[in-house]
Amino acid sequence: MNPIYKRLSGLYMFVFFGIPVLIFGCHQDRPLPIDAKATQETRSLHAFLHRLQGEKILFGHQDDLAYGVHWRYQPGKSDVKDVAGDYPAVMGWDIGGIEYRHEVNLDAVPFDLMRRFIISSAREGSINTISWHLGNPATGGSSWDTTVAVTHILPSGSLHGQFVNWLDNVASFLDSLRFEDGTPVPILFRPFHELNGNWFWWCKPFCSKEEYIELWRFTVNYLKDIKGLHHVLYVYNTNNFRDDAEFMERYPGDTYIDVMSFDTYQFLGRENVNSGLLASSQKFKTQLQSNLDVLQYNANRHGKLMALAETGFEAIPDATWWTDVLYDAVKSYNLSYVLVWRNQGLLKNKMHYYAPYPGHISAMDFKNMFKGTKMALQGTLRPLNIYNLSN
């Protein structure tokens, strides 16, 4: 007796006792998640992000609650909070290693702790996004092992079964992210990221456009329709790019993407730190804004959310980078969030961190970025009930 229906931008099709019936006029102004069965909380988050566009840009930080430049696993601690007085509005995590059922991810974050951080930060109002630096299924090497693999894990490939097992492991972790009452915590999932780079095995030089799109669609369909996960929004992600054609080349389609995004970092190159800083910042801002123009154009055109999914300037060697460079570049765009990468501290003889810690040269400027601006931390979201709006 239950009619099956499908939304076709204002045109509804009902199949009633085997007879298709078309009905006009039930137009939904606000775009819906691609998952027609998205949970109420996920639809609520999605609607909230659409409503917030242009008003606020949520600030995000990778692994924020797990460790900082000078500490590891101290309950309640966060470099962002220690400097700005509040936690990030967006928490980034990476599940690289879950495919092998490892207990810790590729950066040594225990999955049990990650789960707890995701649940507790969502309870406080933050939004969680997950990337996946998965190993190379053809070799057992890392994400950076660019041996050809995509073609082998597609449904016609010899390693498809193994890849499906990996997705099962991803699904069981995602499924375990639940509030105390059992309700799944909505997640922004960003697999196969930086697709137009040349450093991961799923990047452009190592698979065809058709293969990438097939991998994406298979993954989404599998998690959504076979594993029955309905608390996931899907994030399309490139690295920085030259033009519209490059950004959209491997776009899997409007029925497979909820958020469009790209990653871009500022680098100093070989220039002298002092004399080169200004030129480097200028170059970064120009490139970032030209990419944001393309992102915003496409997000509007396709009715999608938009985000700067990863950014930063390693070790932030600029005391006013936050307000003069980052915020100044992004403030006029309809970005849902901007996320800076992780605060590892020392990594292979150099400092690898993207948010300041107390005493850092950019600490004051970082704090100022949130004063009277659109950039928002967790406290902005806490009273808004983003997972429980009446839509």
**Applying CB under 6 A, does 106 fall inside the site for ligand BMA?**
yes
For position 342 contacting ligand BMA by CB under 6 A, the verdict is yes
The minimum distance between CB 168 and ligand BMA, in angstroms, equals: 22
Asked whether position 94 contacts ligand BMA by CB under 6 A, the answer is: yes
Return the range that interacts with ligand BMA (CB under 6 A); candidates 38-46, 177-185, 238-246, 340-348.
Answer: 340-348
Closest-CA residue to 131 (of 147, 157, 109): 109
Q: Name the residue nearer to ligand BMA (CB basis): 327 or 353.
A: 353
Closest to ligand BMA by CB, 116 or 352: 352
| Beta-strand relationship, 4-8 and 11-16 | antiparallel
The verdict on 351 binding ligand BMA (CB under 6 A) reads no
C-beta of 132 vs 370, nearer to ligand BMA:
132
> 39 or 128: whose CB is closer to ligand BMA?
128
- Using CB under 6 A as the criterion, what x/- string covers residues 48-77 for binding ligand BMA? ------------------------------
Kindly state the smallest distance separating residue 125's Cβ from ligand BMA, in Å.
Answer: 24
| 190 sits near ligand BMA (criterion: CB under 6 A) | no
Q: Is 133 in the site for ligand BMA (CB under 6 A)?
A: yes
CB of 142 to ligand BMA, least distance (A): 9
What is the closest distance, in whole angstroms, from the C-beta atom of residue 289 to ligand BMA in the complex? Answer: 23
Q: Minimum distance between the CB of residue 169 and ligand BMA, rounded to whole angstroms?
A: 18
Cβ nearer to ligand BMA, comparing 94 with 318: 94
Convert the chain into a string of H (helix), E (strand) and C (coil). CCCEEEEECCEEEEEECCEEEEEECCCCCCCCCCCCCCCHHHHHHHHHHHHHCCCCEEEEEECCCCEECCEECCCCCCHHHHHHCCCECEEEEECCCHHHCCCECCCCCEHHHHHHHHHHHHHCCCEEEEECCCCCCCCCCCCCCCCCCHHHHCCCCCCHHHHHHHHHHHHHHHHCCECCCCCECCEEEECCCCCCCCCCCCCHHHCCHHHHHHHHHHHHHHHHHHCCCCCEEEEEEEECCCCHHHHHCCCCCCCCCCEEEEEEEECCCCCCHHHHHHHHHHHHHHHHHHHHHHHHHHHHHHCCEEEEEEEEECCCCCCCHHHHHHHHHHCCCCCCEEEECCCCEEECCEEECCCCCCCCCCHHHHHHCCCCCCEEEHHHHHHHCCCCCCC
**Can you tell me which of 107, 145, 175, 314 binds ligand BMA, judged by CB under 6 A?**
107
Kindly state the number of chain residues that form the binding site for ligand BMA, as judged by CB under 6 A: 8
Considering beta carbons, is residue 142 or 176 the nearer one to ligand BMA? 142
Residue 82 within binding range of ligand BMA, rule CB under 6 A:
no
Cβ distance to ligand BMA smaller for residue 212 or 341: 341
**Dihedral angle, C-alpha 367, 369, 371, 373, nearest 10 °:** -160
Is residue 314 within the footprint of ligand BMA (CB under 6 A)?
A: no
Interacting span for ligand BMA (CB under 6 A) from 6-14, 21-29, 174-182, 339-347: 339-347
Binding residues vs ligand BMA (CB under 6 A) = 94, 106-107, 133, 341-342, 347, 352
